[in-house]
Copies of this chain bind each other. A is one copy, B any other.
C-alpha cells in the first residue's frame, strides 16, 4: 500500500499518450523509469493497467476504471494543496466554457490572468452548458462558464445547489437572431423565412432559447425545416451569408468578426453567463479568476 501521487500522474500521462517514450519525454524522465513505475503500480494494485500487444500499449478495462480514480485523487489533492495557501494562486485551474464565452470573453480575461499569475497552469475545455455542469461535478474541470437552462431564471442558485455547485453571473450577453442581409425585415418570429437554423449540437442553451423564441412567437420550431448543426461560429455565419440559414449568436461574438457584413441582426433576449464551481472549491486560483472578471465588468458592461 504505497501509492505515490507522482505515480498517479505518471500513470495518467502514459494513459493519455499510450506510449512510454512519449510519456517519459513529457515527464522529463528516462523511459526505463516509467516502465518500472507502471509495473510497480500494477503489482501494487494487483491488476494489469495496460495491455501490451506488439510493443504497443492499450488501456486495459481495469486501467480505464483506475484512470477515473487516479484523476479524481489528483484533483482532490490539487484542491487540498491550493486550499492550504489562501494567499497565492498557484497550481492549476481547469476551466470549462461554452464555445461563445471561450471565443468572446475568455481571451482577454485569461491573458490578463496569465500575465498576473504565470505560475497558474490554466486550461480551457469547451462544450455545451449541460455537459459542462456534469464535468464540474465529476471534477474533470474546476469551474465552468455556462448559460442557465431555459426556465430556470431566478432560481439558478437553488438549481446549482441541488447539484452541489455554486456560482454567480459574470457576463450579460445579448442574443441576436442573425439573418441574411437580403432577408426582408421582420416584426415577429412568424416573419422569419429561411431554410434552416444553424446551431451547435443539442445541449446548447442558446439553441433552446432560439427554439423557445420561435415557440413564443407562435411558430412551431419543427416547422423550421433542417436544424443544421455546425461546428463553429464562423461556420454559422457562413451559412447565414449563404442566404439559406438563420442563427442565434451572442452580440459579443458577432463583434469579434472583422466585418459583420452580409448579415442583419435582431435582438432576441439578454441572458446571463454564470461562472459555477463546486461548493467548497474555494481556491485562491478561482478567487483570482472571479476578481479579474469583476474588474473587467467595470470597463466592459454588466
Contact = CB atoms under 8 A, between A and B. Distances in A.
Contacts of A72: 76
B3 A2 contact: no
A6 interface: yes
Interface SS of A by simple majority? helix
A168 B83 CA distance: 37
A47 interface: yes
Contact of A1 (B3, B6, B46, B73): B6
Contact of A4 (B4, B65, B73, B79): B4
Contact of A83 (B5, B46, B69, B79): B69
A62 interface: yes
Interface residues of A, number: 27
A5 B66 CA distance: 16
Contact of A84 (B66, B80, B84): B66
A45 interface: yes
A162 interface: yes
A81 interface: yes
Interface in A1-15: 1-6, 9
Nearest to A88: B46
Contacts of A83: 65-66, 69
Contact of A80 (B4, B69, B81): B69
Contacts of A3: 4-5, 77
Interface string A27-59: 000000000000000000111000000000000
A297 interface: no
Contacts of A2: 4-6
Contacts of A45: 81, 84
A45 B80 CA distance: 9
Contacts of A65: 80, 83-84
Interface in A105-159: none
A26 interface: no
Given A46-B84, A46-B85, A84-B46, A69 B76 contact: yes
B79 A47 contact: no
Nearest to A63: B84
Given A3-B5, A45-B84, A66-B80, 12 more contacts: A1-B6, A1-B9, A2-B5, A2-B6, A69-B77, A69-B79, A69-B83, A70-B80, A73-B73, A73-B77, A73-B80, A162-B162
Interface of A: 1-6, 9, 45-47, 62, 65-66, 69-70, 72-73, 76-77, 79-81, 83-85, 162, 164
5 contacts: A45-B81, A46-B85, A65-B80, A65-B83, A73-B73
Which 3 pairs between the two chains have the least Cβ-Cβ distance? A69-B80, A3-B5, A47-B84
